[in-house]
Amino acid sequence: MKLIVANILLLLFSNVLIAQNQVKTYTWEQAKLLGADTVYSITFEKTKLDSLPEDLMKFVNLKKLDLSKNDMSKLPSFISSLTKLEILNLGKNKFITFPAEICKLTSLKQLILNRNDIAYIPDCIDQLTQLEYLDIWDTPVATFPESIVALKNLKKIDARGVMHGPKYQTKWREKLSWVKIEFDSPCNCFE
């Protein structure tokens, strides 16, 4: 009998865990119709967005925000009020500088900045202590800031799409030995 009860509890608990990982993603139009406190994931992907609607700050329970494939070049200061945000996708936009507001999103686990023109990541990235994945694929980041070594939860960096020399690659693989860093094959370029 104890075994049956234990199996039932295990089954119920696993269903709760599965349900928690299956967060529904809403478009902005859908999300506006729902209670702001009940929406955990919003996508603005491919909406030609160049700025965020101010009403987004009401969605304080957001865990995932997809702003990819738009015309964004800056983030508003209110983005830092989304303190529960774990996944931020800014891929394929028009950012030329790393938005400093990102550094205030200390719950971030995944930061996707691929296919932007960002050349520099600021030292404040060390405030993203929960960060596990950084995607800067095809983004011309010249070098990582020294402060990135403080990110002990970091598991993977995708730095492909930009050529780096073998010394650079070796240096960062040694400094971030616990991180899987994906680089393209080293170039024979000046270091």
3 inside domain: no
SS3 100: helix
Residue 5 inside a domain? The answer is no
Identity of residue 132: E
Distance CA 111, CA 44 (A): 16
Domain that holds residue 128: 24-182
Tokens found for residue 1: 């009998």
State pLDDT tens for residues 148-181.
999 999 999 999 999 999 999 999 999 999 999 9
Q: Are 180 and 159 in contact (CB under 8 A)?
A: no
pLDDT at 23: 87
CATH number of the domain enclosing 88: 3.80.10.10
Q: Where in 35-190 does DSSP place strands (E)? A: 41-43, 64-66, 87-89, 110-112, 133-135, 156-158, 180-182
Q: Which residue from 100, 164, 96 is spatially nearest to 128, judged by alpha carbons?
A: 100
In-domain check, residue 63: yes
Distinct helix (H) and strand (E) counts, the chain: 3, 8
Cβ atoms of 178 and 152 closer than 8 Å = yes
Cβ atoms 131, 154 nearer than 8 A: yes
**Whole-prediction pTM:** 0.87
Alpha helices in the chain (DSSP H): 2-21, 28-33, 166-175
Count of structural domains within the chain: 1
pLDDT beneath 70: ranges in the chain: 1-21, 190-191
Residue 66's pLDDT is 98
Q: How would you write 136-147 as a 3-class SS string?
A: CCCCCCCCCCHH
CA distance 149 to 126: 8
Alpha carbon distance 14, 18 (integer Å): 6
SS3 helix, strand, coil % of the chain, rounded to 5?
35, 10, 55
pLDDT score of 3: 54
